[in-house]
Structure formats: C-alpha cells, structure tokens
C-alpha cells in the first residue's frame, strides 16, 4: 500500500482549488505522483517576475487569494476528518492558464479529530517564515497554524516583498508591515509595480485581514471561513471600482455594497436628478434609487442572469422599483416578473419617484444553478419594464437548531464583561459549524436539541479584572482555559458548582487568595494554577503569599533556601566530576581511535540488514528520518537499526550528516555507531542497542511502573553532562 501522505490525502479530497491527482505509480522502489498540469507555475514565480510576462493585477491577486483560501477552508471544514496543510506558502499555490489558483503539496498535511481537542501534538514541520510561532513553541498544531501561514501569503501578495529580508530594519514581513501601518500610508505597503491601480478600501481591508491572521495568539486569528468571506468582499470592491462606481456607508446605512450591473448591448440607462423617496424597510442609497435600466428595444424583456453556488442552493430576491421618468398622460409602464420562465409576480406598475420593494416570500431555485430573471411587458403597457436595483440572498441551511438560549446569553455576558472584540464573535456562537466562535467548542451531535457550549478558551486574550460571574451560567462547560492573562482576585467557588467542568487552566495570571476547598476536592478535577506569583500551594491548599501567616512563611523560606543550596551543590558536584574525568575521557577517546577505523569499514549489505532484523519484525520506535528496528549481529550482539523512509524529503541529508558525525565522535556516553548500509536507495544506520529505551519513557511511566530513584536520576544527569562537556570541548 502506498505510504506517501500526499497520495493518501489526495485520494480522498476533491476540490476545484486543490491540485488534482491524475494518478500515481507504486512499482517497488519506483514511486511517482501524476498531477494535473498547472500552466503558469507557482505564485512566487509570478510575483517575482521570474516567469516574465505582465505584472499580476490587483484583481488577479485578489482572485488568487480567494481561491487559495477556499481550498484551505475546504481542508479545514469540508474534509472528514479535517486536515491541516502545514506548509502553506506562495510556492505551494499553483496557477492555471487563466491564473486560477490551486493549493498543492500535501506531504506535510495532518488530520485532526472532529470531536474533542482542537489541536494535535506533533513534531514541528513547515517552512521558516511561514511557520506559526505558537506551533513552533508548543508543538500544538491546529487549523489556526494554517491561518497564520496564509496571513503571511496575503502579505506577500499585496506587498510583493520577501518573507524574510535581512536588509530591512524589521526582517520579517509581518514586522515590516506592522511598522509601516503605524505611519498610516497604505501606498507605502502595496506593491509599487501596481502603480496605484487598486481599490484603496480593499487594500486596507486585506492588509488588516492579513495582520489578524498573523496574530501571535492563535485564539485571536480568524477562521478560514471568515477569511474567505472577507476576501470575497475585497474582490467585489475591486470589480466595482473597475466598473466605475459603488455605494456603501455612509450612503447606505446598512453598509451594503451596491455594484453597477449594466448590459450595454441590451439595456438603456435611466436616471433622474430629482430626489427619490427611499423611505421603506430597505432604505436604498439615493444614488442607487435614482438610476435604473430598461430594455434597449421597447418591445423586449429585461433579462438578468446569474449563477448560484452550489447549483442546488435556494435564494430570495428583493427587487426595488421607482418610476424615474415623467410619463405622458397616455403612457403606461406595467410588467410581470418570471424566474426561469415561471410566473413570479405582477402585473406591477412602479410608483413615481418612490422606491417600492418586491420580494420573494418563498425561496426560489434555479435549473443547475443558472438563474434567469425576466421583466416582461404586459399587453396594455406602452413602455418597457424598468428596474432600479436587485438583491439576491442565498439560503443557508442550518441542520442544527440555534444554540441554547441560556448559553447564548451567558457567553454574550462573558464577552461584555471582558470587552472582547473578536472578528468571529458575531451571530450564533455554535452554528453553522464553519462559523463557530473562536475559543469555543460546542456539542452539535444531536440535531433535535439545541447545541450547547462545552469549552471556553480565552487564553492569551488580554483579559483583566476578576474571573467573571457570567461563566457560572455556562452550565454545560467541560473545559475552561483563562491562562496567560492578567486576571486578579480570588478563584470563585462557583467553578465547583458547574457539574460538568473538570478541566480548569488559570496559569499565568495574578490570582490571589486561596483555592476553594470545593474546587480542590472535586472528583476528577484537573486544575492548573501555575505561574500565579501571589498564589502559593502547599500541603494541598493554596494561600495568598501576602497574608500574615508567619508560621507558614517561616517554613517556606528555609525550604526554598534548602532547595537553592541543594541545586548549587549538585551543580558543583557535576562540574567536579566532569573536570576530574577530563583526562580519562581523552584516554578513552585515544583508545577508541582504532575502533573508529574499524567502524568506518563496517558497511553492511541490505540483505545483511534484513537478516539481522529478521525481515524488520520488531519495531523499537521512530527516529528522525525513519523507523528503528531491533536486530542481532553475529548471533549475539543486539543492535538498533534505523531505516531511511522513502517519504522523508530530508532523509538522505540527515542520514549523511549523522554518519559523518558518528564516524568521528566516540565517547562512552554517546550512542555508538556499529555500522551502516548504503546500497542504492537502501539506507540504514546500525547503532548499539539501548535496552531501557529513552529517558522520557521512564519519566512518564509509559515504559514501566517503577519510578527512577534520586540516585539513578543524578547518575543520568552526570552522564549526560559528561557527554555535553565532551561535545563542546572536543568537537571541531
């Protein structure tokens, strides 16, 4: 079975903005992937001018941003289980002949659970400059890691600046753009090759969106669904600019964007300089109400066409009419409306200089997503149909019910208490799932009952004040994370009263007082109060260090002093042993030189590797570039055999580096190299066998149930220190 991550992913994901897999080859050692051809290469080449041709226009760039964002949003929300790409960058965005964008290279992609934790713990992988700093620091990978990388891509798209440029005062593009924004001049940020040919409002919007994506805290970053929505608005703004005009706030009190839609071959534009009465529930801008269109030929119908996505989607239309012309006594304007040939409304006659709105009371549906609205003149009408404006709203199906009303009120109170101003905290907290509020997890499993909020994560959100009482009304809460803020005051007792709440993280705050016994004693409770400098936990209870408790303080000070003294003594002892054994180490290194020569000549064939591992029967673990197997040399000597994985892009470099290093370093506290195999594409390293595995296994208890005693731990520290001292002094 093919083991390459890119194939496994591409065989089960399909989207118009992901590079398609045509096929693959898995013939023994011959592995190949066959992709669809992308005629215009990658985005980075096109931005840098390496491919020649014209500069990408602002509209091109906005469309590329939207389409690549749609591909990424599909991985996060359309796949089951969801996927994290893990290597979003401009060289992994490929362009079609017409500059359509598709996301490529899924070799580092990872899936994460649909339910439960919203991140997976994994070894850091990705490209420097695009790598989420929070992921790099914690090894916690989530969809927000992709959001960060995509934010960097957005900044590249609009600035055409390198991600890292050491000639700049602020080398990383995030820092540079952030600094330039403080000057308030968007034109100093946007690619000068565009020569100002872009919509300024759209430019501000996309730069601000990109900076939100690269926020150091993942909780503060938007979801990709929101990014797609914002980018679509940027595209619309640019289209409107190119078509000549647009109407938004303050002209439109609802901040709607109105775009000219005019068919010069079939329509005649009608305008008036008189004031149109726009007073109704929809309040069109005066500039929109004072314009309209009629058919070029009075006898023809007025046709408007558009496509809906997906093709099966239902929608509502809102048509706005006002008579803009002064009619003669014998003139009549009357018409019917049809949708895809079916009668919709009429006959209708517009009111002079007063907007009236005709709307669908039931949703419409179009054949294969292609919609045709027709305004058809009646037999008694002397004038052709006239339309001032139209709005079409796609119906969004919510399989879930609205979020539990009490939970909605409670989370809104939490928001108000802390003054949270998050982009995603709008509308229903839990539905639709792709617009779930950042920092929340909800139970949406039963469509017959309202979703409930089960997890609240406000870590690193700049919270100040006390722990708000509004949290106590989130009665279904299971996890609460308020870590790394500036919260003060005492831990409230109501946390123990939330029956389902079993995980609380209050670390990294300035909490005072004692932890309520009811919280400490709650069965199954996991409480983290680390790094609260004014909170001290001893003997199972937490007390305010500032309280006047001389007896406890008199114990704390000597204990702290004793621990510090012990640490100094241990450090001195280790240094003493290292220095004392310096000569012995040199002698050992000298004695091992002959062994080094032997090791250099100890090259195994692949058939010998297969024999010593009994056809790779027993797996010991996973190393830096492949799987480690148990083996036996000469019938008695146990060894560990690390085999290079074909799916490891860096494997051969790591293999070569490790062999070169281990062939020239020898110390009793460094794992010894017994030999190696380098036969065509078969690469392996053979080490001495370490019977008790690694230290982490023993410390965590995953290897056995016995604790390492103090003497054993001290010996491990000394041996490791000797190895480090040897490395720093004698490697050159």
If pLDDT is split at 50, 70 and 90, which confidence band does 583 have? very low
Of 90-99, 395-404, 541-550, the one with minimum mean pLDDT is 541-550
Residue 567: how many other CB atoms lie within 10 Å: 10
- pLDDT at position 693 is 77
8 A C-beta contact, residue 108 and residue 97: no
- Alpha-carbon separation of residue 506 from 322, 484, 492 (angstroms): 60, 8, 12
Residues 54-67: what's their mean pLDDT?
Answer: 92
Provide the sign of the torsion angle of the four alpha carbons 523, 529, 535, 536, taken in this order: positive
When the candidates are 3.30.56.10, 3.40.50.20, 3.30.70.260, 2.60.120.430, the CATH number that belongs to 267-394 is 2.60.120.430
**Is pLDDT at 478 greater than 70 in this prediction?**
yes
C-alpha span between 508 and 482 (Å, rounded):
9
Packed helices 173-181 and 143-159: angle between N→C axes, nearest 10 degrees: 60
**Contact call for residues 141 and 121 (beta carbons, < 8 A):** yes
The Cα 207–Cα 173 span in angstroms is 12
If one counts every other C-beta atom within 10 angstroms of the C-beta of residue 361, the result is 6
Residue with tokens 């062939």: 663
**231 pLDDT higher than 80:** yes
Query: In the prediction, which pLDDT does 558 show?
Result: 43
Residue 368 has a pLDDT of: 78
Helices first, then strands: H and E counts in the chain: 19, 32
Residue 591 has pLDDT above 50, yes or no: no
Which residue ranges make up the annotated binding site?
Answer: 642
For the ranges 76-90, 602-616, 658-672, which has the lowest average pLDDT? 658-672
First-to-last C-alpha distance (Å) of the chain: 44
What is the C-alpha radius of gyration for the chain, rounded to an integer number of angstroms?
34
pLDDT of residue 595: 39
Structure tokens that stand for 698 in this block: 């023993």
The dihedral region occupied by 341, where left means phi > 0, alpha psi between -120 and 50, and beta the remainder, is left
What pLDDT does 600 receive? 46
**pLDDT greater than 80 at residue 627:** yes
* Cα→Cα distances 339→75, 307, 568, Å: 35, 13, 84
Quote the pLDDT of residue 474: 95
Q: Provide the Cα torsion 720, 721, 722, 723; round to 10°.
A: 50
pLDDT at 505: 94
Backbone conformation region of residue 174, classed left if phi is above 0, alpha if psi is from -120 to 50, else beta: alpha
For residue range 335-373, list pLDDT tens digits in order: 999 998 888 889 999 999 999 999 988 888 888 778 899
Query: Would you place residue 647 in the very low, low, confident or very high pLDDT band (cuts 50, 70, 90)?
Result: low
pLDDT at 415: 94
CA 345 distance to own-chain centroid: 46
Of 120-129, 380-389, 457-466, 519-528, the one with minimum mean pLDDT is: 120-129
Q: How far apart are CA 242 and CA 250, in angstroms?
A: 21
- Interatomic CA distance for residues 267 and 262, integer angstroms: 7
User: The tokens 């010069």 sit on which residue?
Assistant: 264
Containing 371, the helix (H) or strand (E) segment is: strand 370-377
Domain ranges across the chain: 5-241, 267-394, 405-419+426-544, 582-691
CA distances from 16 to 10, 59, 68, 70 (A): 12, 19, 10, 9
Q: DSSP label at 655?
A: H
List the beta bridge partners of residue 34.
23
Q: Which segments are annotated as binding site for ATP?
A: 642
Highest mean pLDDT among 135-139, 397-401, 431-435, 609-613: 609-613
Contact 344, 338 (CB under 8 A): yes
Statement: residue 596 has pLDDT above 60: no
Does domain 405-419+426-544 sit in CATH 3.30.1540.20? no
Out of 118-132, 193-207, 322-336, which region has the weakest mean confidence (pLDDT)? 118-132
Q: Determine the Cα–Cα distance for residues 663 and 336; give it in Å rounded to an integer.
A: 88
* C-alpha–C-alpha distance, residues 95 and 42, integer Å: 6
pLDDT range class, residue 43, cuts 50, 70, 90: very high
Which phi and psi (to 5°) does residue 442 adopt? -130, 155
Q: What is the pLDDT of residue 704?
A: 59
Most confident residue range from 372-381, 565-574, 708-717: 372-381
**Whether 487 contacts 467, CB under 8 Å:** yes
Mean pLDDT of the chain: 81
- Torsion, Cα 377 378 380 384, to 10 degrees, reads -10
Contacts of 603 (CB under 8 A, 6+ apart): 675, 676, 677, 678
Does 336 or 697 have the greater pLDDT score? 336
Q: How far apart are CA 435 and CA 212, in angstroms?
A: 16
pLDDT of residue 656: 67
What are the φ and ψ backbone dihedral angles of 392, each rounded to 5 degrees?
-130, 125
Helix (H) / strand (E) element for 157: namely helix 143-159
pLDDT (0 to 100) of residue 458? 93
pLDDT bin (cut points 50, 70, 90) of residue 588 is: very low
Rounded to whole angstroms, how far apart are CA atoms 652 and 685? 12
Reported as half-sphere exposure (CB side, CA atoms, 13 A), residue 401 has a value of 13
Structural fold of domain 5-241: Transferase(Phosphotransferase); domain 1 (1.10.510)
**Angle (CA) 656 660 666, round 5°:** 140
Report the length, in residues, of the chain: 732
Query: For the chain, what percent of residues have pLDDT higher than 70?
Result: 80
Pairing of strands 389-394, 370-377: unpaired
The two three-digit tokens of residue 417, written as one number: 């208490």
Contact between residue 529 and residue 515 where contact means Cβ atoms under 8 Å apart: yes
d(CA 600, CA 674): 9
| 3-class secondary structure, 189 | coil
Q: What is the pLDDT of residue 550?
A: 41
Least confident of 33-37, 42-46, 236-240, 480-484: 236-240
Q: Give the residue-averaged pLDDT of 649-674.
A: 69
Q: Is the pTM of this model over 0.75?
A: no
Of 544 and 54, the structure prediction assigns the larger pLDDT to 54
- C-alpha to C-alpha distance for 653 and 625, rounded to whole angstroms: 10
State residue 480's pLDDT score.
Answer: 95
Provide the pLDDT for residue 594. 35
692, 673 contact by CB (below 8 A): no
Q: Please, what CATH class does the domain formed by 582-691 belong to? A: alpha beta
Kindly give the interhelix angle for 200-213 and 58-73, rounded to the nearest 10 degrees.
30
- Lowest-confidence range among 159-173, 314-328, 466-480, 578-592? 578-592
pLDDT on residue 174: 94
Q: Would you say residue 191 has pLDDT above 90?
A: yes
What residues are paired with 443 via a beta bridge? 452
CA distance 732 to 721: 18
| Least confident interval from 202-211, 232-241, 259-268 | 259-268
How much is the pLDDT for 722? 61
pLDDT mean over 685-693: 85
In terms of average pLDDT, the best of 229-233, 481-485, 712-716 is 481-485
- Count the alpha carbons within 13 Å of 659 in the hemisphere toward its beta carbon: 20
Q: Is the pLDDT of residue 549 over 50?
A: no
What is the per-residue pLDDT across 420-431, written as a single tens digit (0 to 9) for each? 888 788 889 998
Average confidence (pLDDT) over 618-637: 83
């Amino acid at each position: 079975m093919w083991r390459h991550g890119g194939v496994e992913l591409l065989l089960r994901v399909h989207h118009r903005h992901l590079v398609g897999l045509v096929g693959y080859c898995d013939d023994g050692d011959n592995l190949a992937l066959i992709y669809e051809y992308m005629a215009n290469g990658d985005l980075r080449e096109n931005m840098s001018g390496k491919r020649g041709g014209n500069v990408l226009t602002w509209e091109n760039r906005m469309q590329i941003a939207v389409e690549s964002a749609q591909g990424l949003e599909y991985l996060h929300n359309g796949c089951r289980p969801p996927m994290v790409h893990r290597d979003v960058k401009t060289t992994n965005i490929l362009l079609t002949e017409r500059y359509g964008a598709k996301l490529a290279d899924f070799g580092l992609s990872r899936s994460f659970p649909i339910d439960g934790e919203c991140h997976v713990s994994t070894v850091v992988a990705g490209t420097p400059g695009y790598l989420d700093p929070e992921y790099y620091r914690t090894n916690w990978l989530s969809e927000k890691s992709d959001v960060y990388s995509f934010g960097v891509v957005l900044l590249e798209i609009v600035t055409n600046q390198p991600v890292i440029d050491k000639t700049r005062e602020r080398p990383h593009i995030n820092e540079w753009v952030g600094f330039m924004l403080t000057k308030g001049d968007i034109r100093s940020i946007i690619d000068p090759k565009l020569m100002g040919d872009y919509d300024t409002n759209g430019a501000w919007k996309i730069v601000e969106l990109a900076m939100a994506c690269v926020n150091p805290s993942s909780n503060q970053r938007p979801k990709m669904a929101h990014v797609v929505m914002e980018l679509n608005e940027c595209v619309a703004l640019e289209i409107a600019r190119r078509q000549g005009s647009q109407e938004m706030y303050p002209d439109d009190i609802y901040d709607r964007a109105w775009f000219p839609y005019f068919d010069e071959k079939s329509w005649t534009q009608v305008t008036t300089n008189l004031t149109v009465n726009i007073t109704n529930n929809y309040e069109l801008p005066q500039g929109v109400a004072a314009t309209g269109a009629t058919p070029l030929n009075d006898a023809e119908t007025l046709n408007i066409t558009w496509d809906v996505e997906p093709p099966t989607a239902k929608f509502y239309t809102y048509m706005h009419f006002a008579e803009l012309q002064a009619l003669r006594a014998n003139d009549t304007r009357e018409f019917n409306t049809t949708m895809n040939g079916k009668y919709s409304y009429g006959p209708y006659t517009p009111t002079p200089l007063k907007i009236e709105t005709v709307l669908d009371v039931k949703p419409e549906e179009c054949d294969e997503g292609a919609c045709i609205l027709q305004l058809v003149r009646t037999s008694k009408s002397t004038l052709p149909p006239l339309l001032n404006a139209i709005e079409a709203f796609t119906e969004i199906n919510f399989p879930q019910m609205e979020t539990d009303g009490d939970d909605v009120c409670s989370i809104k109170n939490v928001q108000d208490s802390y003054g949270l101003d998050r982009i995603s905290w709008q509308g229903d907290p839990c539905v639709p799932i792709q617009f779930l509020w950042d920092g929340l997890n909800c139970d949406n499993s039963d469509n017959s009952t309202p979703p409930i909020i089960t997890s609240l994560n406000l870590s690193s959100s700049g919270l100040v004040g006390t722990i708000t009482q509004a949290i106590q009304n989130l009665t279904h809460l299971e996890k609460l994370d308020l870590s790394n803020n500036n919260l003060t005051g005492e831990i409230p007792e109501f946390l123990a009263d939330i029956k389902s709440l079993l995980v609380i993280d209050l670390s990294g705050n300035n909490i005072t007082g004692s932890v309520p016994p009811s919280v400490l004693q709650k069965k199954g409770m996991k409480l983290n109060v680390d790094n609260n400098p004014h909170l001290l936990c001893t003997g199972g209870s937490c007390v305010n260090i500032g309280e006047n408790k001389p007896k406890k303080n008199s114990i704390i000070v000597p204990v702290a002093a004793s621990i510090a003294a012990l640490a100094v003594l241990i450090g001195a002892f280790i240094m003493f042993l290292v220095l004392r054994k310096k000569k012995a180490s040199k002698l050992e290194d000298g004695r091992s030189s002959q062994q080094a020569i032997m090791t250099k000549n100890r090259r195994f064939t692949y058939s010998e590797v297969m024999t010593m591992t009994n056809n790779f029967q027993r797996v010991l673990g996973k190393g830096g570039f492949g799987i480690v197997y148990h083996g036996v040399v000469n019938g008695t000597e146990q060894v560990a055999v690390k085999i290079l994985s074909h799916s490891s892009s860096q494997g051969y470099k790591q293999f070569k580096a490790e062999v070169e290093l281990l062939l020239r370093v020898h110390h009793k506290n460094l794992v010894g190299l017994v030999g190696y195999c380098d036969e065509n594409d078969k690469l392996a390293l053979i080490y001495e066998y370490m019977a008790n595995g690694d230290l982490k296994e023993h410390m965590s208890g995953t290897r056995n149930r016995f604790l390492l005693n103090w003497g054993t731990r001290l010996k491990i520290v000394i041996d490791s220190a000797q190895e480090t001292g040897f490395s720093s002094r004698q490697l050159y």
